[in-house]
């Protein structure tokens, strides 16, 4: 990459910069080119865009589709209000459901497989509190299909590049600074608009097996998007929603909805069949943690052979091919054995949860020219449908914004500050603590003090530790290679997200969402005082976390039609 003659780092210019090339980012890039083929679109992707992001390769369902004649966007609002226990803004969720059918038909035209029966009817699973919205999919190459389409349309992907700082000029977005995670080279990008789609915070809590990268979600997700938006002046919310899933023990792999909706049985540790008693993962966790009746397990041995083969086909091809080797290694045969379940590590996520950058139904943040989509944005429990739909919405709005605005000048002082920070970190090669050991300690402390059950004392201790870790990362952690360098940036983001989670959790003085925000000092849900959003913004510096509150945004049309 060529450097500008008068600058020690390369500068590129584009109309739209997308940070993160997963499901939302890839869809945003494609939609931007559909809107305006002449739009100059650049993607910063930390990994390889062909396999990056939470789906990585294939997917077995589009979680939220309002199929005409089966369900409606209005009914979906009822379902998501129940699932979110009221802490959800209607407009983004309604817009996502309203556009979901057209989005699904678009994917179908691209060749994505949505199975139909002999009558031409889609298979729609019941996984929400009310209504049927989960449309099955059989597409083992979904991500590679998106990446290929993106390349065909002329999107410029700058791979192995982690965004370090957003640039603003006159209160509006003006670009970003990134670093190549293999060479350490800094790159500046001037952009008229920016979409953040860099995922949630998967590497947050520590898995029970102690493996740093054996997490439920994409391990490259370390809260980069949250921290970028926060430092640029955006609003964040939902950081008290400390999500824990209930999934196959010791492997990042889906199972529950694929098996239970196809006749699998759910047994607790005492052999009682709990298949009909659990409407959600949340209720399973309550049994596991509060009643001590876990671990639970899935039994498929009673199913006919063709049903078991169909489940294996989904798990071993469409979802995670590595699962077949995993189960063989464990000696598990679905025809005779059982599949043990266990709580995952704690993580922060907009797609599966309620954490993220606050956006409206147009994917706009509080910073002009900055948009967000996917797990980075707060479109409550939007899953893959939310990533795709809001990737498209963000692109539509960002392209329109770029067409109205001129290119702002890059703040070279801000770029030079990033370079100085990089050089300072690289000067610490003589420190004694390896980066990996330090990350292990940070995430173990997150398990100790932020993972529920929570209370005031534990959360105060978490904040004390995070302040200490900020200093120790500078004073004692060895950064001897570029690999160490970008891992240090990731750990900084994990620490920042942990601090924000502790602050938000302290502020919400009630218990809500089952085990996910259970406070032993405030064990009851309190709608009178806490039916509202806890909003975080940055004060004078990143550790100065300012707390505010926002009312829930409801839609009259939803009330009239549900």
Helix (H) / strand (E) element for 66: namely none
Is 337 inside any structural domain?
yes
Q: What is the CATH number of the domain that holds 527?
A: 1.20.58.100
**Within-domain flag for 472:** yes
pLDDT in tens, the chain (562 residues): 555 557 899 999 999 999 999 999 999 999 999 999 999 999 999 999 999 999 888 999 999 999 999 999 999 999 999 999 999 999 999 999 999 999 999 999 999 999 999 999 999 998 888 999 999 999 999 999 999 999 999 999 999 999 999 999 999 999 999 999 999 999 999 999 999 999 999 999 999 889 999 998 899 999 999 999 999 999 999 999 999 998 899 887 778 888 988 999 999 999 999 888 765 788 888 888 878 888 999 999 999 999 999 999 989 988 778 899 999 999 999 999 999 999 999 999 999 999 999 999 999 999 999 999 999 999 999 999 999 999 999 999 999 999 999 999 999 999 999 999 999 999 999 999 999 999 999 999 999 999 999 999 999 999 999 999 999 999 999 999 999 999 999 999 999 999 999 999 999 999 999 999 999 999 999 999 999 999 999 999 999 999 999 999 999 764 444 3
Q: How far is CA 183 from the centre of its chain?
A: 27
- Region of residue 202 (phi > 0: left; psi between -120 and 50: alpha; otherwise: beta): alpha
CA nearest neighbour of 207 among 144, 143, 269, 252: 252
Angle at 116 between CA 111 and CA 119, to 5 degrees: 135
pLDDT value at position 562? 38
| CB atoms closer than 10 angstroms to residue 542 | 17
**Distance between CA 331 and CA 249 in Å, rounded?**
14
Q: What is the pLDDT of residue 252?
A: 76
5 assigned to some structural domain = no
Whether the full predicted model's pTM is greater than 0.75, yes or no, is yes
- Cis peptide bond N-terminal to 71, omega within 30: no
Do 435 and 336 reside in the same domain of the chain? no
Give dist(CA 114, CA 63) in Å, integer.
12
Question: What secondary structure does DSSP assign to 417-447, as a single string?
Answer: HHHHHHHHHHT-TT-SB-HHHHHHHHHHHHH
Residues in contact with 304: Cβ distance below 8 Å, sequence separation at least 6, in sequence order: none
Q: What is the DSSP letter of 522?
A: B
Tell me if 389 is assigned to some domain. Answer: no
Q: Give the separation between CA 103 and CA 96, rounded to whole angstroms.
A: 10
Q: How many domains does the chain have?
A: 2
* 8 Å CB contact between 201 and 222: yes
Residue after which a domain boundary falls, among 343, 371, 403: 343
Cβ distance 371 to 24 under 8 Å?
no
CATH code of the domain in which 329 resides: 3.90.700.10
Asked if residue 180 is part of any domain, the answer here is no
Whether residue 436 is found in the same domain as residue 524? yes
Helices (H) and strands (E) in the chain, counts: 16, 18
Final residue of a structural domain among 326, 343, 360: 343
Q: Answer yes or no: do 428 and 518 share one domain.
A: yes
Cα–Cα dist 448/180, whole Å: 33
The DSSP code for 290 is: I
State how far the alpha carbon of 309 is from the alpha carbons of 254, 304, 316, 409, in Å.
Answer: 16, 9, 10, 59
Q: Of the candidates 315, 343, 371, which is a domain's last residue?
A: 343
Residue 57 lies inside a defined structural domain of this protein: no
For the chain, the residue count is 562
Q: What pLDDT, on a 0 to 100 scale, did the predictor assign at position 3?
A: 58
Tell me how far apart the alpha carbons of residues 197 and 181 are, in angstroms, rounded to a whole number. 18
d(CA 29, CA 147): 10
**Domain identity same for 339 and 434:** no
Can you tell me whether residue 80 is helix, strand or coil?
A: helix
- Return the bridge partners of 517, or none: 512
- Does a structural domain hold residue 435? yes
Instruction: Indicate whether 81 belongs to any domain.
Output: no
* CA-wise closest residue to 178 among 56, 12, 14: 12
DSSP E strands: which ranges in 185-321?
A: 186-196, 236-237, 246-248, 265-267, 297-299
d(CA 100, CA 106): 10
341: part of which helix (H) or strand (E)?
Answer: strand 338-343
Q: Which domain holds residue 457?
A: 423-532
């Amino acid at each position: 990459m060529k450097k500008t003659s008068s600058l020690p780092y390369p500068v590129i210019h584009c109309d739209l910069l997308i940070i993160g090339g997963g499901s939302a980012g890839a869809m945003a890039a494609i939609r931007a080119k559909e809107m305006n083929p002449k739009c100059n679109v650049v993607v910063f992707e930390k990994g390889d865009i062909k396999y990056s992001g939470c789906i990585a390769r294939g997917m077995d369902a589009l979680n939220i589709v309002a199929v005409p004649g089966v369900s409606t966007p209005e009914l979906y609002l009822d379902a998501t209000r129940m699932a979110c226990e009221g802490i959800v803004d209607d407009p983004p969720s309604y817009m996502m459901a309203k556009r979901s059918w057209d989005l699904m038909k678009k994917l179908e035209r691209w060749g994505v497989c949505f199975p139909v029966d002999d009558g031409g009817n889609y298979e729609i699973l019941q996984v929400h509190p009310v209504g049927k919205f989960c449309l099955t999919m059989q597409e083992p190459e979904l991500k590679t299909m998106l990446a290929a389409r993106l390349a065909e349309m002329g999107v410029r992907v700058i791979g192995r590049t982690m965004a370090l700082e957003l640039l603003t000029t006159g209160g509006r977005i003006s670009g970003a600074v990134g670093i190549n995670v293999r060479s350490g080279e800094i790159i500046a990008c001037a952009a008229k608009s920016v979409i953040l789609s860099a995922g949630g915070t998967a590497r947050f809590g520590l898995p029970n097996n102690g493996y740093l990268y054996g997490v439920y979600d994409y391990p490259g997700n370390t809260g980069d998007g949250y921290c970028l938006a926060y430092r640029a002046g955006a609003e964040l919310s939902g950081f008290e929603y400390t999500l824990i899933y209930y999934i196959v023990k010791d492997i990042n792999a889906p199972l529950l909805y694929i098996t239970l909706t196809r006749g699998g049985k759910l047994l607790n540790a005492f052999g009682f069949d709990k298949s009909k008693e659990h409407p959600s993962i949340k209720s399973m966790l309550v049994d596991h943690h509060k009643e001590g009746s876990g671990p639970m397990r899935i039994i498929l041995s009673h199913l006919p052979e063709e049903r078991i083969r169909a489940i294996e086909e989904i798990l071993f091809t469409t979802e995670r091919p590595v699962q077949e080797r995993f189960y063989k290694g464990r000696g598990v045969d679905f025809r005779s054995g059982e599949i043990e379940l266990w709580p995952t590590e704690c993580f922060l996520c907009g797609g599966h949860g309620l954490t993220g950058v606050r956006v409206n139904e147009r994917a706009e943040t509080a910073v002009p020219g900055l948009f967000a989509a996917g797990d980075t944005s707060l479109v409550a429990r939007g899953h893959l449908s939310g990533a795709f739909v809001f990737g498209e919405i963000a692109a539509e709005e960002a392209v329109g914004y770029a067409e109205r605005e001129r290119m702002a000048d890059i703040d070279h002082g801000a770029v030079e500050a990033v370079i100085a920070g990089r050089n300072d970190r690289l000067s610490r090669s003589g420190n004694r603590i390896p980066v990996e050991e330090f990350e292990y300690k940070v995430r173990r402390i997150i398990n100790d003090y932020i993972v529920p059950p929570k209370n005031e004392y534990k959360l105060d201790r978490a904040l004390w530790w995070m302040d200490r870790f900020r200093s120790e990362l500078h004073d004692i952690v060895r950064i001897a290679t570029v690999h160490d360098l970008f891992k240090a940036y990731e750990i900084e983001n994990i620490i920042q997200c942990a601090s924000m989670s502790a602050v938000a959790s302290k502020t919400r003085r009630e218990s809500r969402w089952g085990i996910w925000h259970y406070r032993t000092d405030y064990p009851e849900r309190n709608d009178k005082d806490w039916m509202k959003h806890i909003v975080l913004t940055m004060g004078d510096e990143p550790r100065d976390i300012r707390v505010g509150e926002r009312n829930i945004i409801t839609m009259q049309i939803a009330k009239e039609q549900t």
